[in-house]
Amino acid sequence: MAGTGRNGDTKVVTLSDVARLAGVSVATASKALNGRSQVAARTRARVEAAAEQLSFVPNRMAQGLLAGRTGTVGLLTSDLQGRFVIPILMGAEDAFGAGRVSVFLCDAREDTIREQHHLQALLSRRVDGLIVVGSRTDPRSTLGHDIPVPVVYVYAPSDDAGDLSLVPDNVAAGRIAVEHLVACGRRKIAHVSGDPGYAAALDRGVGVGEGLDAAGLKLVGDSMYADWSERWGRDASAVLLDRHPDIDAIVCGSDQIARGALDAVRDRGRVVPDDVAVIGFDNWEPMVEGSRPELTSIDPNLELLGRAAAQRVFAALDGDELGDGVHLQAPRLVIRGSTVPRS
């Protein structure tokens, strides 16, 4: 705990410094600090004291050089907003254990060249594994198979079936949304979704259809697709509500669209959830908790996705088969005021 200097001027202390202070060889110092048995208790104590005094931290680069493992993982993303990548990062940290594994986060910004640069950088740093996070659930091009470490694709699957991809189950999400509305006694259900160029929009739509079929219901009006904005949610809901005044629930393709829908319902002097229930997707906290009333939403369980990805990478390092194909993560319904009256 000496440290009185300014940051950066203290010289880095190595194992030989510790060994010298303790009056032993580096070999013995190493064994003492790593709990090896070939060292006397008194010597061990002396070494530990020396290490403490110098606040020695072993150089993991050097360790990695020997071990062939660096204890690092690369997280390669194009998720500008950090909306998906942060929960995934947290899940990965949980799975790895804080401090045991460190994560390189690289933002490719949807740019293939930049992605290649980052990939080279990560490989040159000898990461033990790679997690690739997309910003949408559509398939993305594979990084290829000549990568010397296990790769897991998360959120956006790889377009190569030989790769392992973990993605949210959007079909199930749509189904669950409808099942919840039906359980709440709704029968006249409409659907406003986002950009039809996104697989997420279409998949959720499919799930909505399945849910309705299972309940013997038919969608009120057509599914509306355009973009993910609140404005669109507002406008589309307005059209639907005007054309079909008997609507008693709206399934929205995202929380933002749902907020627009809430506005549209209120503008028409109708009450959420008494007259019309509204449900969103993503369970994005600032959106769902800020709205009036708070928004019921389907949470894609991104932390679990991240954790699963990390576990897969870990297992592959221990020699397990990495696996392949697209694996679906079940979503989770989070009920709030927009579908159920405050009672």
Partner DNA sequence: CCGTCAACAGAAAACCTTTTCGGTCTGTTT
Partner DNA sequence: AAACAGACCGAAAAGGTTTTCTGTTGACGG
The contact set with DNA (CB under 7 A) reads 12, 14-16, 23-28, 30-31, 33-34, 36-44, 56, 58-59, 62-63, 65-68
Cβ proximity to a copy of itself: between 128 and 169 the closer is 128
Query: Interaction with a copy of itself in 143-162: which residues (CB under 8 A)?
Result: 144-151, 162
CB of 261 to a copy of itself, least distance (A): 12
Cβ proximity to DNA: between 147 and 199 the closer is 147
The stretch near a copy of itself (CB under 8 A) out of 34-42, 123-131, 210-218, 236-244 is: 123-131
The whole-angstrom separation of Cα 100 and Cα 71 is 7
Beta-carbon count within 10 A of 71 CB: 15
Which of a copy of itself, DNA, none binds 16 (CB below 5-8 Å, type-dependent)? DNA
CB of 143 to a copy of itself, least distance (A): 9
Beta-carbon count within 10 A of 254 CB: 28
Strand-pair partners of 131: 75, 152
- Show Cβ contacts of residue 293 under 8 Å, excluding neighbours closer than 6 positions: 272, 273, 336, 337, 338, 342
Cβ proximity to DNA: between 14 and 53 the closer is 14
Does the protein bind a copy of itself through residue 86 (CB under 8 A)?
yes
- Show Cβ contacts of residue 284 under 8 Å, excluding neighbours closer than 6 positions: 83, 255, 256, 297
The whole-angstrom separation of Cα 87 and Cα 302 is 6
Query: Interaction with a copy of itself in 160-199: which residues (CB under 8 A)?
Result: 162-163
Contact 230, 247 (CB under 8 A): no
Does the protein bind a copy of itself through residue 82 (CB under 8 A)?
yes
CB of 40 to DNA, least distance (A): 4
Binding mask 31-60 for a copy of itself (x = CB under 8 A): ------------------------x-xxxx
Question: In this structure, what DSSP letter does residue 340 have?
Answer: S
The whole-angstrom separation of Cα 292 and Cα 269 is 14
Which of a copy of itself, DNA, none binds 185 (CB below 5-8 Å, type-dependent)? none
Cβ proximity to a copy of itself: between 27 and 121 the closer is 121
CB of 216 to a copy of itself, least distance (A): 36
Q: Exposed, middle or buried: residue 173 (CB in 10 Å: 0-12, 13-18, 19+)?
A: buried
CB of 186 to a copy of itself, least distance (A): 25
CB of 33 to a copy of itself, least distance (A): 12
Cβ proximity to a copy of itself: between 248 and 299 the closer is 299
Question: Cα 72 from chain centroid?
Answer: 18
The whole-angstrom separation of Cα 328 and Cα 317 is 22
Question: In this structure, what DSSP letter does residue 7 have?
Answer: T
Which of a copy of itself, DNA, none binds 7 (CB below 5-8 Å, type-dependent)? a copy of itself
Query: Interaction with a copy of itself in 224-283: which residues (CB under 8 A)?
Result: 229-231, 234, 256, 259-260, 263
The whole-angstrom separation of Cα 295 and Cα 305 is 23
Question: Cα 288 from chain centroid?
Answer: 18
